[in-house]
Amino acid sequence: METLHPVTAVDVADALRSASSRGVDVLPVGGRRHLDKGNPGPVDVELWTTQLDGVVSYEPAEMIATVGGGMRIGTLQATLAEGGQEWPVDAPGDATVGGVIAAGASSPRRLRVGAVRDSVLRVEIVTGDGRIVRAGAPTVKQSAGYGITRAIVGSLGTLGVITEVALKVRPLPRARRAVIAEGPGLDLGAGMLAAVPFAAAVLADPGRVVASLEGWPDEIEEQTDAARRVADVIVDDDAGVPVAVESFPDAPILAEASVAPSQLGAVLDGRTTWRAALGVGTAWVGVRDLDELDALRRRATDAGGIAPVIRGVGGLGPAPAAARDVTLRLRAAFDPAGVLSRGRFWGASFH
Amino acid sequence: MADPAAARRALEAALGAENVLADPLALQLYARDASMVAGSAGLVAFPRSTDDAVACVRAASAHGMAIVPRGAGTGLAGGATPVGDPLVVVSSKMRRILEVRTEDRLAWVEPGVPNLDLSNHLASLGWTYAPDPSSQQTSTIGGNVNTNAGGPHCLAYGVTAAHVLALDVVLSDGTVARLGSEGPETGGYDLRGLVVGSEGTLGIVTAVCVRIAPRPPAIRTLLLDFTAVADAAETVSEVIARGVVPAAVEMMDQGITIAAERFAHAGYPIDAAAILLVELEGLASTVDVQSREVESAARSHGVRTIRVATDDAERALIWKGRKSAFGAVAQIAPHYHLHDCVVPRTKLAEVLTGIYAIAERHDLVVTNVFHAGDGNLHPLFSFDLREPGTLERVLAAADEVVRLCVAAGGAISGEHGIGLEKRDFMPLVFSDDDLAAMACVRSAFDPDGRMNPMKVLPDGARCGDFAAARGHDVARVAADLPAGSWI
């Protein structure tokens, strides 16, 4: 297998044009932290984005940072911290911006900070046949043309290689705190969610609940008081926010279930290794093998949701039924030779 | 060949004669939206259900008509203006709030529900739907979805795209697809995200699942007045630099403040060069600390007075002036042309100066009321179309405003969309390949170009230029995939 290390979008375009004309399969690779999602098959060429790692522009007063798609999350957050800001994802420091976007890896703090797709203002991608395409604008809002930025988020490298992005960033909270209560997580958590306004996250485990608070110091005290009214809590001002893909390191397979929030209980019932984001509907579930994964997926499907694997084997899960033709035509238009991220798709067999 | 008479018969049979209009008055009524461009409608239909909307698509397809989906017609870019006698599909008979599920933080609504009706209904339950375009009394959720509408409160909470979980869409082939889901993520590409902001060119939205949130426990509205526009603009940047993101930051210049005050009697200082309305939301302690930061930032930029609304009635009054501003300008002149572009927040003062110069050059009255926190400008030119040559001056000024915003590093639309009015400006900010990629998105949904033709993309933007000309086809890609799979 060959590896490519482009340093500009034009390099990427040259490489992909050539790959498309020769029918060579290419896998775009960033920090390899979200690569299990969609379990890409073996390829001829890995295209490493990690040299596309510059800061194009960063103006704290605009709350926008434009950076290369291969920039490491740790480097980005350090840069933003100098401006008192953050890009609200909680990914491993060696993951790349483009990887987080391609995987659609939203923060466990999504309840307050929103989804990753809503923080991407502009993308520059190189399509499978080597066209450089930009969509969106480097402004905090825009309504000009189609939302290609949103379609790129979670597209797993099948529509193009992300070479540059403009990100909507936010002020770093002045203070953070974890408020922890022991007991049945979903039940305690439901009370906490109702009682504590503007929590960044209410994360339930089988035996406890952790509310992540962030903001101004007075705000956190007010939230803590609210939490104390519904549960016996302890506080931890040094606890970080968990990183989704690093959850349950001993579990061979980590799935990320996604259902309407009220369905979390039905999906998780009887399981022992999980953490659920209440009010959001995401649950990270550790499973031992593919049979357990199948059982989890059936429950997620019954609840109207999905459960792709984000670490280990097991793929994404069944193909969605809606608008299949539209999806195929999109893929064909952006990667006519079908050389990008082969095998990384919904409905793929992985056994 | 288009056969409107046959389409009419088919639709009358499917929807009932009372839900199909073809008389000249109706066709004229639906020949335009709130923009300056008039078109021509061939037939008007009022579906009451998704099935009815499917019947509309089938009838149009069978009888060679294009389709223009439409909500309340408050759009300012001509997105709902029919071109070439198409079937106009109006959502006004689909205006039920289907369900509100607070445990799932969502509500399902039909597309014709006015934004404010949903907001009021949720408020009675202690919940909110964040997007609040100024047109919210009239404009519909379906229209808001199609323009990716904003509003003052999108500064803190994001535009419509961030608040739409799922959509039921009738596609151009007459099939119905649920795009997105009630959960946070969906398998496959984010087709929901493509339909949001697509101005009716990708399908007919027949149901919308929106994200709702509990109403914040504390809200405070401040009115700041300045003797220089630049001071107001710099205050906005400084507030952000201090790490405060208010729920809303709106700016009004002197001209609009005077007009709004005459109309709303909100107690606005009419001798101010600019006023800022700042709304803070959150916990009581958050609002206190943010209020101190805002006041301190304003003082460092020479604020003259700071008025804090002391109760809900005063808050409502302060907002009434802002939200009725576009109506209030009728006092200045009978007609107006409202623009929508976005510039970097730090360029606000500079671009406003440029806009005043453009107005002066073209002998037009310009007033400004806009979402300062987002850098989303809404310069409003007032004029009397009965004066010869006025329209030419207005359009020339419009052209210069768009170019000024683009030169400042901005976007050609913040929340109104492209429609007909701005499609020829698209090449100012997008390359041929960018536009071809957009055309590919469009043709992926609507290969025959039946949905709202002529809108959004300039003439000449074709997906074929991008890919198809080089010999690929869907079958080739599909053949690579196992049966039932989804890229």
Question: pLDDT per residue over A245-269, tens digit each?
Answer: 999 999 999 999 999 999 999 999 9
pLDDT digits over A157-176, tens only?
999 999 999 999 999 999 99
Query: Could B437 and A151 be called an inter-chain contact, meaning their C-beta atoms sit closer than 8 Å?
Result: no
**Contact across the interface for A171 and B243, Cβ inside 8 Å:** yes
Checking if the pLDDT of B468 tops 50, the result is: no
Position B460 scores a pLDDT of 85
**pLDDT at res. A10:** 98
> Mind telling me how many Å the CA of A90 is from chain B's nearest CA?
17
Q: Looking at the predicted structure, is the pLDDT value of residue B481 above 70?
A: no
Quick one: average pLDDT of A119-146? Answer: 95
User: A67 CB contacts (<8 Å, ≥6 apart)?
Assistant: A53, A54, A55, A56, A58, A76, A79, A97, A164, A165, A167
Give the CB-side neighbour count of residue B287, counting CA atoms within 13 A.
19
Residue B282 has pLDDT above 80, yes or no: yes
Answer yes or no: is pLDDT of B10 > 80. Answer: yes
The answer to whether B197 contacts A259, with C-beta atoms less than 8 Å apart, is no
Q: Which of A49, A61, A60 is nearest to A123 (CA)?
A: A49
pLDDT at B479 over 80: no
Taking a C-beta distance cutoff of 8 angstroms, is the pair A172, A165 a contact? no
Q: How confident is the model over B349-372, as pLDDT tens digits? A: 999 999 999 999 999 999 999 999
pLDDT of B410 > 60? The answer is yes
CB contact (8 A) between residue B171 and residue A151: no
Residue B478 has pLDDT above 60, yes or no: no
In three-state secondary structure terms, B198 is: coil
Residue B472 in this model has a pLDDT that exceeds 80? no
Out of A61, A261, A282, name the one closest to residue B105 (CB): A261
Mean pLDDT check: name the lowest of B27-41, B174-188, B196-210: B27-41
Average pLDDT over residues B138-156: 94
What's the mean pLDDT in A33-38?
96
Cα(B413)–Cα(B422) distance, integer angstroms: 8
pTM of the model: 0.96
Average pLDDT (B12-18) is 98
Residue B376: which of B416, B338, B342 has the closest Cα?
B342
User: What value does the mean pLDDT of chain B take?
Assistant: 92
How many residue contacts between A and B have a Cβ separation below 8 Å?
Answer: 324
The three-class DSSP label of residue A171 is strand
Distance CA(B481)–CA(B352), nearest Å, equals: 54
For residue A9, which amino acid is it? A
Reported as a single tens digit per residue, the pLDDT across B32-87 is 999 888 899 999 999 999 999 999 999 999 999 999 999 999 999 999 999 999 99
CA distance B411 to A139: 7
Per-residue model confidence (pLDDT) at position A42: 87
pLDDT category of residue B470 using cuts at 50, 70 and 90:
very low
Q: How confident is the model at residue B476 (pLDDT cuts 50, 70, 90)?
A: very low
| pLDDT for residue A350 | 54
Containing B405, the helix (H) or strand (E) segment is helix B390-407
User: Is A261's Cβ below 8 Å from some Cβ in B?
Assistant: yes
Residue A351 confidence (pLDDT) above 70 = no
Q: What is the pLDDT of residues B226-278, one digit of tens each?
A: 999 999 999 999 999 899 999 999 999 999 999 999 989 999 999 999 999 99
On whether the CB atoms of residues A19 and A339 are closer than 8 A, the answer is yes
- What's the CA gap between A108 and B184, in Å, rounded? 12
- Shortest distance, CA A205 to any CA of chain B (angstroms): 19
DSSP state of A242: P
Task: Report, in angstroms and rounded to the nearest whole number, the Rg of chain A calculated over CA atoms.
Answer: 20
Predicted confidence band at A349 (pLDDT cuts at 50, 70, 90)?
A: low
List CB contacts (< 8 A) between A143 and chain B.
Answer: 147-150, 159, 197, 413-418
Sign of the dihedral defined by the CA atoms of residues A68, A71, A73, A75, in that order: negative
The strand ranges marked E within B238-396 are 248-253, 274-282, 305-308, 335-338, 341-342, 365-371, 376-377, 379-383
Q: Which of B50, B301, B346, B486 is the best substitution to test chain A (most A C-beta atoms within 10 A)?
A: B486
Residue B454 confidence (pLDDT) above 70: yes
How would residue A348 be classed by pLDDT, with cut points 50, 70 and 90? confident
A133 touching B, CB under 8 A? yes
Query: What percent of chain A is modeled with pLDDT above 90?
Result: 92
- On whether the CB atoms of residues B195 and B203 are closer than 8 A, the answer is yes
Higher pLDDT, B310 or A111: A111
CB-CB under 8 Å, A145 with B430: yes
- Under an 8 A CB cutoff, do A148 and B147 touch? no
pLDDT at site B328: 84
Helices (H), ranges, B81-179: 115-124, 141-147, 154-157
> Can you tell me the distance from the alpha carbon of B313 to that of B336, in angstroms, rounded to the nearest whole number?
30
Say whether residue A229 is in contact with chain B using an 8 A CB cutoff.
no
pLDDT grade for B330, boundaries at 50, 70 and 90: confident
| Angstrom distance (rounded) from CA B275 to CA B252 | 5
Task: Check whether B434 has a pLDDT greater than 90.
Answer: yes
Minimum distance, in Å, between the CA of residue B248 and any CA atom of chain A: 13
Q: Can you tell me the mean pLDDT for B386-400?
A: 92
Contact between B262 and B328 under an 8 Å Cβ cutoff? The reply is yes
B480 contacts on A by Cβ (under 8 Å) = 338, 342
Beta strands in B264-422 (DSSP E): 274-282, 305-308, 335-338, 341-342, 365-371, 376-377, 379-383
**A73-82, A210-219, B467-476: range with lowest mean pLDDT:** B467-476
Taking contacts as CB-CB distances below 8 angstroms, the residues of chain B near A66 are none
Q: In one letter, which amino acid is A127?
A: T
Can you spell out the DSSP letters for A53-120?
--EEEEEGGGTEEEEETT-BHHHHHHHHHHTTEE-S----TTSBHHHHHHHT---TTHHHH--GGGGE
CA distance A89 to A169: 10
- Each residue of B36-47: pLDDT tens digit? 888 999 999 999
**Are A159 and B344 inside 8 Å of each other by CB?**
no
**Residue B122: what pLDDT?**
98
Instruction: Report how far residue A115's alpha carbon sits from residue A304's, in angstroms, rounded to the nearest whole number.
Output: 20
The mean pLDDT of chain A is: 96
Q: CA nearest B343 in A: which residue? A: A139
Angstrom CA distances, A202 to A17, A89, B393, stand at 46, 16, 56
pLDDT in tens, A271-296: 999 999 999 999 999 999 999 999 99
> Is residue A63 over pLDDT 50?
yes
CB contact A191 to B (< 8 Å): no
Cβ atoms of A272 and A292 closer than 8 Å: no
Report the run of H or E that residue A4 belongs to, with start and end: strand A2-4
Tokens of A166: 């403009």
Phi, psi of A130 (to 5 degrees): 85, 25
Compute the 3-state secondary structure of chain A and give helix, strand, coil in percent, each to the nearest 5: 30, 25, 45
What average pLDDT does this structure show over B203-223?
A: 97
Q: For residue B471, is pLDDT > 60?
A: no
Structure confidence at residue B466 (pLDDT): 59
